[in-house]
Amino acid sequence: MAAVTQDTAIRTGRITRTFIYLVLVLFALFYLLPLYVMVANSLKPLGEITGGNMMALPGTWTIEPWLAAWSTAQIGVEPTGLKPYFLNSILMVVPAVAISTVLGALNGYVLTKWRFPGDNILFGLMLFSCFIPFQIVLIPMATILGKMGLAGSIPGLVLVHVVYGIGFTTLYYRNYYAAFPTELVRAAMIDGAGFFRIFWRILLPVSGPITVVSVIWQFTNIWNDFLFGASFGGQSQPMTVALNNLVQSSTGVKEYNVHFAGAILAALPTLLVYVVAGRYFVRGLMAGSVKG
Amino acid sequence: MGFLDISNVTKTYGNVEVLHRVDISVQEGEFLVLVGPSGCGKSTLLNMIAGLEGITSGDISINGRVVNGVHPSKRNIAMVFQSYALYPNMTVAQNMTFGLEMHGVPKPERDKALADVAKLLQIENLLDRKPGQLSGGQRQRVAMGRALVRDPDVFLFDEPLSNLDAKLRVDMRTEIKRLHENLKTTIVYVTHDQIEAMTLSTRIAVMYQGYVQQLGTPKEIYDKPANVYVATFMGSPAMNVVKAKVAMREGAPHALVTGHDGTDHALRFSQDNLAEWDGREILLGIRPEAITDPDGADRNSNNIVPITNRIEVIEPSGADTFVTMKLGGRDVIARMRADADVATGRDFTFAVNMEKAVAFDPATELRIQP
């Protein structure tokens, strides 16, 4: 009796599993379809796209569209390609991610290990910044950037993104450090370590997972931001704004192959970050909740 | 003036006073145990000595220097935490020398101190490991090693054995005791385990509800508890405390207690001063080991009183057999030899060693001094 039941269980298990995998593969293919279209069309001459099938593989393989998108395509009025804007984005993203992550870590450290009256209210107010829509702050932000003399510059964009990111990074690090035993901090105090030494020698070495989360989150958000870039970029617009200017240009022939190549170029850095650190991303998101 | 003086110390959180005028003076080389139930203020007091919590009023001085407001690292103390608090990213060696490094001790001296302590605690083979690779007992040793390396004036232990399993706990207890006897260091040790308190300490402070109930040697605490709380907290099973009436028989004070069937048993006191309590109610305290089978009674005692009473429950524990009976309306536990001839529901003659009995004032619950 028992053997029969077990046998049936295994068989139904196998059938169900085959079905589940089939559905999953189908969904995966469906989600990969846009990527396929972009890659395939970025590698064909323009004639093949306008004259034929979007779904077909390139008849003649070419990397011309990529080179054009990178260095010669018309962005607005200048035929510079996306290259200078890519550099702008890097110059904006790297300091903005670094500064907001470091400040978030310090905030989290203070809010959990150096508690003071009203700390929870302060944390609540910082969290509030995560829920403010970008559009609301555009005008006051412009005023402040103007008064600081940072309008239309990369440092201005860095400042804007640091201010916006600090709520998230503080949330991450605060929750992560809340699960970190306070006795360790007390032990280090008795051992004679000061505020920054405890942070540097005791907390930071075990903050790997949450730092990955913070960096990926901040990098993706700042890299992909369009509104702040378009509003405050001025002469130093980031990649996203340039891509828009490339794709939305209303004069001349629409060079779809170049547009596809440019869009992939704009998405590559965030893709790269996910591929390299994505494994740790999930692990870091879970870490704070499971420990404790 | 002692080596560590806690004088008139109070602690309040908002309007709540959690420690009330604590006065404890510890001599150099003493092993003081603060014992009490959760929330009695013992850990708070330890943290105040360490400087991890502020002092609301009063003074704490270490080695002749008042340390109120002095940073923990400048009090020349070392602390062993309940969770051991080993830095997870550092090796055992780095963990142990971190404090010396922070205090600017040069590397050769650090290495020498590390080698000495590692040898003393027999953890030389663990020095390159991370805390995550150690067993509970090994972590415990490393945590003690980290404290020893500093060679501080006072060691503070915050329930260091409570995370270990029962057998290891007994082993580590012996080890801590041996360490103290060899090194003659001054130790303040917090625990809720009264057996740890009895075995380790040279003096015990029993704390309850923010008050030091009694401060004394283990023997004083055990034999002459200041009040009913201390009497029942220390010792396992707890001291039996039953209602009794004092009556004079043949010129000596006796305690009258009712047996299971309502008849009174007269137990002659060894303390003559209880004659003043003639005709009044008291609380009679007798430890389980002072109620035995007649053959197991203390031969050195001059005052063994036999009483016959009904056996209600028998609990053999291997080494001893615990027998429960009713006296004065309460369950009273007697401690018999393992092979005592007892059976549930039978009448049995118990031998009560009244030399060890104590009497409490039922109104104040304080012990009536002989």
pLDDT of residue A119: 85
CB pairs under 8 A between A and B: 57
**pLDDT, tens digit, for every residue of A193-233?**
888 888 898 888 888 888 888 888 899 888 888 888 878 87
The model's pLDDT over B330-353, given as tens digits with 9 standing for 90+, comes to 899 999 988 888 888 888 999 999
CB contact under 8 Å between A181 and B83, yes or no, is yes
B270-311 per-position pLDDT tens digit: 888 888 888 899 999 999 999 998 888 888 888 889 999 999
**What value does the mean pLDDT take over residues B86-103?**
88
Q: Which residue from A106, A165, A134, A149 is spatially nearest to A229, judged by alpha carbons?
A: A134
In a 13 Å sphere around the CA of B353, the CA atoms on its Cβ side amount to: 22
> Over the stretch B132-179, which tens digit does the pLDDT of each residue have?
888 888 888 888 888 888 888 899 999 888 888 888 888 888 988 988
Contact list in B for residue A201 (CB cut-off 8 A) is 87, 98
Inter-chain CB proximity B87 and A192 less than 8 Å: no
A247-273 tens-digit pLDDT: 777 667 777 888 888 888 888 888 888
Query: Within 10 A of A216 (CB to CB), how many other CB atoms are there?
Result: 21
Sign of CA dihedral A269, A272, A277, A278: positive
Asked if residue A289 has pLDDT above 50, the reply is: no
Closest CB from B50, B77, B87 relative to A184: B87
Mean pLDDT within A88-96: 89
Name the helix (H) or strand (E) containing B142.
helix B136-149
Sorting pLDDT into bands at 50, 70 and 90, what band is A290? very low
The 3-state secondary structure of chain A reads CHHHHHHHHHHHHHHHHHHHHHHHHHHHHHHHHHHHHHHHHHCCCHHHHHHCCCCCCCCCCCCHHHHHHHHHCCECCECCCCHHHHHHHHHHHHHHHHHHHHHHHHHHHHHHHCCCCCHHHHHHHHHHHHHCCHHHHHHHHHHHHHHHCCCCCHHHHHHHHHHHHHHHHHHHHHHHHHCCCHHHHHHHHHHCCCHHHHHHHHHHHHCHHHHHHHHHHHHHHHHHCCHHHHHHCCCCCCHHHHHHHHHCCCCCCCCHHHHHHHHHHHHHHHHHHHHHHHHHHHHHHHHHHHCC
Backbone dihedral angles phi then psi of residue B278, each to the nearest 5 degrees = -50, 125
- Domains along the sequence of chain B with CATH: 4-233 (3.40.50.300), 240-360 (2.40.50.140)
Tell me the DSSP string of B78-132. EEE-TT----TTS-HHHHHHHHHHHTT--HHHHHHHHHHHHHHHT-GGGTTS-GG
Interatomic CA distance for residues A218 and A226, integer angstroms = 14
Mean pLDDT over all residues of chain B? 89
State both tokens at B226: 């200041």
C-alpha–C-alpha distance, residues A282 and A273, integer Å: 13
Contact call for A206 and B89, based on CB within 8 A: yes
ipTM over 0.85: no
Pick from B72, B74, B88: CB nearest A206: B88
Q: Which domains does chain A have, with CATH numbers?
A: 2-71 (no CATH), 73-290 (1.10.3720.10)
Confidence of residue B82 (pLDDT cuts 50, 70, 90): confident
For residue A291, name the pLDDT band (cuts at 50, 70, 90).
Answer: very low
Region A131-137: what's the mean pLDDT? 84
pLDDT of residue B205: 93
In chain A, whose CA is at the least distance from the CA of B97? A191
**Residue B286 has what pLDDT?**
93
Angle made by CA atoms B189, A114, B105, in degrees to the nearest 5: 60
For residue B156, give the chain A residue with the closest CA. A190
- Tens digits of residue pLDDT in A172-181: 899 888 888 8
- What's CA B328's distance to the chain center, in Å? 28
Provide the shortest C-alpha distance from residue B201 to chain A (in Å): 24
> Of A11-15, A112-116, A118-122, B127-131, which range is least confident?
A11-15
Closest Cα in chain B, distance from residue A172 (Å): 21
What percentage of chain B exceeds 70 in pLDDT?
Answer: 99
pLDDT band at A288 (very low <50, low <70, confident <90, very high): very low
Q: What is the mean pLDDT of residues A105-111?
A: 91
- Which stretches of chain A sit within 8 Å of chain B by CB? 181, 183-184, 186-193, 197, 201-202, 205-206
Predicted local distance difference test score (pLDDT) of residue A263: 87
- Tell me, what's the pLDDT at B231? 92
**Test mutation, A185, A190, A195, chain B, max B CBs within 10 A:** A190
